[in-house]
Copies of this chain bind each other. A is one copy, B any other.
Amino acid sequence: MKLHNFNLSSASYRVRIALELKGLAYEYVSYVLRRGDQRSDGFLKLNPQGLVPALELDGGTVLAQSAAIIEYLDEAHPNPPLLPKKPLARARVRAIAQAICCDIHPLNNLRVLKYLSNELALPDEVRDRWYHHWITVGFEGLEKQLAGEPETGRFCHGDTPGLADICLVPQVTNARRFNVDLASFPTIRRIDEACMALPAFTAAAPENQPEAKA
């Protein structure tokens, strides 16, 4: 398998964690997003959506979209599971994941920040306020949910890491990189810390990828 990805892309980071939790080996193919590698003709042939991550399977099939890739990995390599078995529990885990993947991260990824700076010519401090705003609003809802629901355990759902944690940790990493104040989110910080105590999460972290060591 080849993972087409970038160390600082948080959607890429999600897939790396899933691959590490599953114990699956992969070849790392790097795309420097600021340079626009993901819009090259070669990559657009692999993934017309022009976004990383994309997972190229040994048979040549290319899968796009981080959460779709992670669900595929869970179906094709069921152990250890990244989603619980029961439909209601699965729905809860997916809803936490989507609160991040659909309601926080898309507003703050690089192409959006570039549009704010370049097309809208907004000053850096306005762009940064935008960034903080969407993380803070999103984390407020998530913190309430995680702190208030009995299904929350050491991790987002019970005592084993799964899809929700895989999405949460890269979002916390992004928040820290942009100096978002996380003081009001003790449950999120506690779960992030529990995850970062696991080798799969640290092995997948941006600072431990080839680009950071180059």
Contacts and interface: CB of A to CB of B under 8 A. Distances in A.
Contacts of A115: 130, 133
Contact of A99 (B49, B71, B75, B95): B49
Q: Main secondary structure on chain A at its contact with chain B?
A: helix
Interface residues of A, number: 46
B142 A95 contact: no
A98 interface: yes
Interface in A122-178: 122, 126, 129-130, 133, 141-142, 144-145, 148
Interface of A: 44, 48-51, 61, 63-65, 67-69, 71-72, 75-76, 87-88, 90-92, 94-95, 97-99, 101-103, 105-107, 112, 115, 119-120, 122, 126, 129-130, 133, 141-142, 144-145, 148
